[in-house]
Amino acid sequence: MKVPETDFEVVTARPRIASVPLSHLSVELGHLYMEDFGRGPGTLIEHFTRVRPLFEDLRNRASVRWGGRPRISTCFLVDDYFSQLREPADLIPELLAAAAEAGVTIDYLARESGCAHTGALSPAEIVLGRLVSDPPPGTDGSRPPTLETGWLSNGEREHLGDINEAMTGLRTWSPPRENGARMHSVYVDVELWHEHTGKRVWSCAYLAAVWQLLRLGVLRDQGRPLVSPEPWDEGRAYPREWSDLPPVVKVNPRAQPFCAFRTHTFLDTRFLPTEAAVRVILDQISLDPAVRELTERRAREEKIELPPELVTRISHAFSDEL
């Protein structure tokens, strides 16, 4: 009896990429350092009062751009990673009340430490795995890779050269150069982390980049979203420890989705250097192709123009008055 021939093909299983609800726009209503909260509720009310007309103008422009009533969600990130001067049980009600008094609604509240780690996962480490450094032309390997040093640049750093003969002391110097510079270079070197007492401490700029990626809904672990906002029932007490709070809390039950096709952030000008670094980081992130295709397909279905580059999906408004 002839045994039928059978072909076997080994297929590497890929986890199913889960979809996430998406707003048109995610709006961050400013950012404050933990010590800013120590100045009292008056400072918070003043902050949101200044943000309100900017937000209303943005909402009007979004209505023109996308028509009708676009899906817009708001968020606020609390810096609990670098300092924890106040407990969430005291700070959060004061923050929400200040926004409400100024006529602004916060839909989602997030912890900055949630960008570093959430449960057994580390969004910061996962993003690090998606980082593809942009080596300048003629790279000779003299600079160690980003994953070893924790430093990421948008070009080639300055070169001091070598000391020649002992009696001359001459050096050959070449300036830093930005990759793809237009006429003149704007060179940026970003610290992603440093080691302190054997522990990796992520930089503010790097966590801000992770925060943008979370808001854009483009991060997955085994196909699953890294963060899912947890509803917080009205009247439910907030915990005394920040670690007892979910990474992202939905404080407005009628809020549009947390993640969005695009993000916009209102910031004081003191954050300009940090956000410039964020753009350098995002410009060197390689998205999972399956996540990219999913997001782009959904944008096409809704007839939403979506730039292919991550960095062009984010925008900022800076003011000395925030």
Is residue 281 in a domain? yes
The pLDDT value recorded for residue 161 is 63
Is residue 156 in a domain? no
Is residue 92 in a domain? yes
Is residue 243 in a domain? yes
Q: Rounded to 5 degrees, what are φ and ψ at 224?
A: -100, 145
Is residue 198 in a domain? no
Q: Rounded to 5 degrees, what are φ and ψ at 59?
A: -65, -40
Q: Mean pLDDT across the stretch 114-131? A: 94
Q: Mean pLDDT across the stretch 146-158? A: 84
The pLDDT value recorded for residue 10 is 45
What pTM was computed for the model?
0.89
> Which of left, alpha, beta for 255 (phi over 0: left; psi -120 to 50: alpha)?
beta
Give the number of domains in the chain. Answer: 1
Q: How far apart are CA 54 and CA 31, in angstroms?
A: 15
DSSP state of 240: S
Instruction: Examine the pLDDT at 2 and tell me if it is beyond 50.
Output: no
Is residue 53 in a domain? yes
Is residue 168 in a domain? no
In terms of residue numbers, what domain contains 67? 23-129+204-319
Is residue 192 in a domain? no
